[in-house]
Structure 1
Amino acid sequence: MSNIAGKAYAMNVITPIKWYLRWINKVIFAIGDNARFLGGLLTLSLIHYARWTIVKPGEFPRLDSSQPKEDIKYSYMFFFSNFNGSWAQYVDSFSMAIPTGLNLFWFKDVKYPKSVPINPFHEYISDNQIWTNHYYSAYPMATSNDVKSAKKVKNALHVFIKDTEKATPAEFQKRYNRLLINLQHDLCQMAPTPIVSLAEAAITNRRKNHAKEN
């Protein structure tokens, strides 16, 4: 599955905005970085990053003069994100953490149903999601929390090595045991987990349901 690299999932959602209304979303984006309605994002450790951007009709690339000009009537908002866990877990978490923020960011997008109730929001994201052709992750078996823990372990080891250079065997053992206790929540196995299976199952189920509807 090209959307999945190890424990990470890539999401791309493209939604149209009427060209004469995009300025409203631009204003919202301008103040969004410091707005309180995005504070809930900080509580979602499963997210690697999330980004929204708007492309006007005349801004789509034309790579060569032989390429036909696009006849685009709408501006388009691109939403990109990488996360750990299943598709449904991610969308549900977003909806619960920053419902007001989502409603503001997709404020004037065509047929946006609002983030609550969740089922119409699921359908909106699913219908506008573009599948990833290629997705690379430098550490595919590491979640965002794994990376944070690895940094903590590395820093603790540097301090431990420095502090035990001249320690006696007994003192070394004592400090080593203390180190393990302090880091016990940060020592993890870099291997596939059921989360990957959940993500794949979510994709399979959505495709089956979509095929039945059509």
Structure 2
Amino acid sequence: MPWDDLLIVAALVMRLVVRQLLEPISLELAFGLYLAAMLVLLPVLVWRMRRSRAALGLTRGDLAGSLRATALLLPLVLAQAAANAWQLTGRLALAPLWLIGLALLNGLVTAALPEEVLFRGVLLARLRRAGASPWQAIVVQGALFAAGHMRYPLAGQWLLFGNVTVLGLLLGWLALRYRTLTGPIALHTLSNVVTFALLGGTIQRL
């Protein structure tokens, strides 16, 4: 197996298996190991695949088109985020502004950026290079992204799981259609931040 594929598998195992197995034991340990692994594996993968920067979505691509599509999808993503917050707590309450600011930074650096580079960048590009059609690649990466959130169906939170699945498919389409991760990163970040903001500052794993 090529080194690139081994690194992709290692990153997916960390996200889909190790992190989820460790979370019931220690949330801090699970997230710390996952984030440390992403900080090592993703830069190596991006460097090794640097000749395919356009396929990875790490160029401007059709930036204007991506931003227009992002604006059109924003109401749907915000409605999903509100529904997520409602299912988690049974109510909607706005968090303090300073907490929302911290959530914005945290959501970008620890969630949206590494997950978009992994799923909508590296994985999507590798699937297309392996011969998958655009829709096959979108569905596979979306399914794997959803598999990283199995705690939702296990807790009976099927609306959350459905929203995550739809979000993964939409972000995959957005990345592939416009050849840039700008829109997916923005929508992923806003989804997490708005969900957190409407939890009233309650700490939840998103």
Give the TM-score range, shorter chain.
under 0.3
Query: Whose Rg is larger?
Result: 1
TM-score, structure 2 length as denominator? 0.23
Could you say which structure has the higher helix fraction? 2
